[in-house]
Amino acid sequence: MAEQPHIVSDALGASEWMAKALSSSGYKADFSLESLHEIDRFFDEQAPAGKARPRGLLSEQLGQRIFGLALTSAR
């Protein structure tokens, strides 16, 4: 079997990392349809009006976290 391109393995790793991070913060993140509602709740709570809460879960490493969230919701 051929090895996955690095971008694929990086994307899979980012989505797994984000799912674990969400779960440890009280959000259900198991790649199910219900997880999409949890990601929506996460944004409502962590970025009200589209702005990251100061000292919130999106206040640092925003690009990496958004990338991981997008992959978590797409799997």
**Per-residue pLDDT tens digits for 35-72:** 889 989 999 999 999 999 999 989 998 888 888 787 77
How would residue 74 be classed by pLDDT, with cut points 50, 70 and 90?
low
Q: How many Cβ atoms from other residues are within 10 Å of residue 47's Cβ? A: 17
Question: pLDDT tens across 22-44, in order?
Answer: 999 999 888 888 888 998 999 99
Cβ proximity of 71 and 15 under 8 Å: yes
CA triple 13-29-49, angle to 5 deg: 100
pLDDT at position 13 is 84
